[in-house]
Amino acid sequence: MHIFTGRVAVVTGGNRGIGYFIALQLAQSQLFTHVLLACRDSKKALDAVRSMQLQVPDVKIVSEQLTLGDIESHERFVKIMKDTFGKCDVLVNNAGMAFKASDPTPFEKQCKPTLDVNFRGTVDFTERMLPLIEKGDDPRIVNVASMAGKLSQLSPELQKKVTSESLTMDELHALVNDFEASVMDGTHREKGFGNSNYGMSKLAVIAATKIWAREHPNISINCCCPGYCKTDMTSNKGGRDPSDGAKNAVIPATMKDPPTGEFFQDYEVSKW
């Protein structure tokens, strides 16, 4: 049986935007023998692989299909990782979705799809990957969140609940489910929630980061806000180049003696 002896980094949504530059910069760091792009669109992923491979010829860039939020896709991807590498050294959860402001879909109908991909999908995929990450060399997870996930969108009572050192993943899921139910019946504001499905999904990702950091002390687990970047998701309205935004994920993925359970913004540890 072949035993893989290098280091492999996985970047979800690594074929474009911020994810492309996260993957490219991880390859350029020379800390990995392999960088794997986990992408929904296999053709776009192959185009990105070719582009990166030309820039970093001495690191093996590969891609594998992954649809975040699709449990069967998660299971298939994890099996391929296990069979090919037997471990994962760094996972960057960059994939996500957002409805554009011009989208006519009603707010309440945007809620479940947003939470299913950004929060529930990220959590399920990460928890399936964790046994492989536990076997990694200097293992790390970086979750790409957003300032949209700021704590201040919640009432003081809910802020206290979500920042509790004893918060469990089951309790976090229950809180997110409560937000969704409240959006459905129009009571989310009076219950102390914010008015952003995307914001709540990213707040929950930040909270999940802190839970995992407590539960897995042998892995450095952090999250970040890349900033408002010029990408398809922002309709290219952002003021920051995605290659600069990517550094907010690359720093905790590559730095010496990284912290854990922290939120990185503007290239340093920041306040949630």
- Active-site residue numbers? 198
Residue showing tokens 């003021």: 239
Q: Cα separation of 212 and 127, whole Å?
A: 9
Report which DSSP code applies to 145.
-
Q: Is 135 exposed, middle or buried (CB count within 10 Å of its CB: 0-12, 13-18, 19+)? A: middle
Contact 230, 236 (CB under 8 A): yes
Q: Cα separation of 162 and 123, whole Å?
A: 16
Report the DSSP beta bridge partners of residue 90.
9, 140
Going along 145-240, which residue ranges are E strands? 220-225
Report which DSSP code applies to 60.
E
Contact 243, 252 (CB under 8 A): no
Q: Cα separation of 124 and 196, whole Å?
A: 22
Tokens (6 digits) for 10 = 């996985």
Contact 124, 77 (CB under 8 A): no
Contact 265, 247 (CB under 8 A): no
